[in-house]
Amino acid sequence: MISFHNVTKRFGSNFALSDVSFDCKAGSVHALTGENGAGKSTLMNLLAGVFSADGGEIRLRGAPIAPERPADSQRLGISTIFQELTLLGNLTIAENLFLGREPMRRGMVDRAEMRTCARAALARLGSTLDVDTFCGDLSVADQQLVEIAKGVSTDADIFIFDEPTAALNAPEVEKLGELLASLKAAGKLVFYVSHRLEEIFRFCDQVTVLKDGAHVETRPTAGLDRDQLVSLMVGRVLSQFYPERPSGPPGGPVALEVDRLQIEAGGPQVSFSLRQGEILGLAGLEGQGQRSIIRALGGLQPAVAGAVSKHEGSQARKLDLSVVQTVLAGIGFVPEDRKIEGLYLPLSITENIGIGMLRRSSIWQMARTRRDVIASLMARMEIRSTSARQLVGQLSGGNQQKVMIGRWLASGIDVLLLEEPTRGVDVGAKAEIYALLRDFADNGGAVLMISSELLEVLGLCDRILVVRQNQIVAELEGSAASEDEVMRLALTGRAANLAESHA
């Protein structure tokens, strides 16, 4: 249905895509994968009319196409769910779903029709959200759902999903799978860009691997296994995905003591401690309060009551939970949305990382940038860039993520709070980030993280606190915990056969 012929795209002197050629059939789900910055989004953006190609051509049913703007692409029957959310906060769900192709009646926008169709589109994803809600009032996961609903509600032949599941939880991913199957059955072509290997194997018929802008392989997923796919992507076999946990029980001194922290008036209180040298995970279903806890600790969201103290040596200092204070006290926070809350996209890598080193200086002091530290950090983290002066906005998602974590690693903090540390990051980079975090912990740092990818929590954390309805319902040993057990605790607050000794 679609075929790429020697497609090339440059950004400045950088080749984001060079001579990419492959074909895709109607009635199939075609996975697109590869490392961060491999060019997946760029290729899809060409199809979506966001960029235009510098060379080669794209053919739709044999005829060359060159959409110059998203509207052109929509007219050609291509519907795109972009990697970045494109919902408008001041429009309702219904309005967002039909923006750009509003149903009209007697010269006016037909709101009734819009609502009906919007409800139907959401229903296909098993969602019952009120279609008159403004999208700005939705959680990220709901926004992602609406985004998908928007993409599939169009009458298109080709659907592009660019990392649609980055913010979704298991049950929603399940629904998405059903949806993909129904699209496939209706004879549509679906592009599915993802770093989640199991989704690729479960949902997709074909997989194309890109590397550094070049086409590596297009193959049926059937005859492929995980390791093969990973080595196609990374160019080598990852011997160890998650770093080794330190042997023995985590017994470092306490780094952060959380005492009866209360997020909402009248809500439950949580207490726990974070030790030096450990990686502690908060696990639970979406919206159960993990995010509020970690945000409150980072000073980003006010807490109603409770005390948090930071221990240094034998001294304990009670913290005033504002961002400026927590950073001064040596606590760094890595947000889940790196573009909005994390990075300075128009500034260079050096500046993005260097700014973290200034955290203890007064604003009147002279600033020093430790270029040597930054250079070695970049080398260690394998940040792919043309130079340290490249603007962060030009990096691929995974590399941006590394820069954001790198800022804190270079700043000399000793407690790191992470939200979704590897969102949208490729397997290779993931392994690298895990290693960095473990290294940070081994050198006396303490890590507290939340992640919607349960396997990541299980694989990386030394201890896991399961959160349900704003409360910590269980504490588990990371190496001993199983996916089943955590899920059950997260859903019911109760372990299956065990006594509630942990709660």
Ligand X SMILES: Nc1ncnc2c1ncn2[C@@H]1O[C@H](COP(=O)(O)OP(=O)(O)OP(=O)(O)O)[C@@H](O)[C@H]1O
Which tokens belong to 334?
């890595």
- 3-class SS at 323? helix
Could you give the CA distance from residue 443 to residue 316 in angstroms, rounded to a whole number?
20
Which pairing describes strands 108-109 and 104-105: parallel, antiparallel, or unpaired? antiparallel
Q: What minimum distance in Å lies between the beta carbon of 114 and other proteins?
A: 10
Q: Which residues contact 254 (CB under 8 A, 6 or more apart)?
A: 273, 274, 275, 276, 311
Residues in region 3-22 near ligand X by CB under 6 A: 11, 14, 16
Q: Which amino acid is at 475?
A: E
Could you tell which of other proteins, ligand X, Mg ion, none binds residue 459, using a CB distance below 5 to 8 A set by kind?
Answer: ligand X
Residue 395 engages ligand X in binding (rule: CB under 6 A):
yes
Report the run of H or E that residue 316 belongs to, with start and end: strand 315-318
Q: Report yes or no: 284 and 486 within 8 Å, Cβ to Cβ.
A: no
> What single DSSP character describes residue 162?
E
> What single DSSP character describes residue 355?
G
> What single DSSP character describes residue 448?
E
Q: Which is nearer to other proteins, 435 or 503 (CB)?
A: 435
Residues in region 61-90 near ligand X by CB under 6 A: 83
Q: How far is CA 21 from CA 11, 29, 57, 205, in A?
A: 19, 18, 9, 18
Half-sphere exposure of 494 (CA within 13 A, CB side): 4
Q: What minimum distance in Å lies between the beta carbon of 395 and Mg ion?
A: 11
Could you tell which of other proteins, Mg ion, ligand X, none binds residue 342, using a CB distance below 5 to 8 A set by kind?
Answer: other proteins
Could you tell which of Mg ion, ligand X, other proteins, none binds residue 351, using a CB distance below 5 to 8 A set by kind?
Answer: other proteins
Q: Which is nearer to other proteins, 74 or 396 (CB)?
A: 74
Residue 197 engages ligand X in binding (rule: CB under 6 A):
yes
Q: Report yes or no: 29 and 205 within 8 Å, Cβ to Cβ.
A: yes
In sequence order, what E strands does 376-479 have? 415-419, 446-450, 463-468, 471-477
Q: What minimum distance in Å lies between the beta carbon of 491 and ligand X?
A: 20
Q: What minimum distance in Å lies between the beta carbon of 456 and Mg ion?
A: 7
Q: Which is nearer to ligand X, 339 or 502 (CB)?
A: 339
- 3-class SS at 173? helix
**Of 208, 269, 241, nearest in space to 456 by CA:** 241
Residue 37 engages ligand X in binding (rule: CB under 6 A):
yes
Q: Please identify which residue in 396, 411, 452, 470 interacts with ligand X, judged by CB under 6 A.
A: 396
Could you tell which of ligand X, Mg ion, other proteins, none binds residue 137, using a CB distance below 5 to 8 A set by kind?
Answer: other proteins
Q: Which is nearer to ligand X, 36 or 411 (CB)?
A: 36
Q: Which is nearer to Mg ion, 32 or 121 (CB)?
A: 32
Residue with CB nearest Mg ion? 41
Q: What's the sign of the alpha-carbon dihedral 495, 498, 500, 503?
A: negative
Angle value at C-alpha 119, between 183 and 153, nearest 5 degrees = 30
Which tokens belong to 107?
């010269």
Q: Which is nearer to other proteins, 204 or 450 (CB)?
A: 450
Could you tell which of Mg ion, ligand X, other proteins, none binds residue 430, using a CB distance below 5 to 8 A set by kind?
Answer: ligand X
Q: Which is nearer to Mg ion, 285 or 413 (CB)?
A: 285
Q: What minimum distance in Å lies between the beta carbon of 344 and other proteins?
A: 4
Q: Which is nearer to Mg ion, 169 or 273 (CB)?
A: 169
Residues that bind ligand X (CB under 6 A): 11, 14, 16, 34, 36-42, 83, 195-198, 230, 238, 241-242, 394-398, 424, 426-427, 430, 453, 455-456, 459
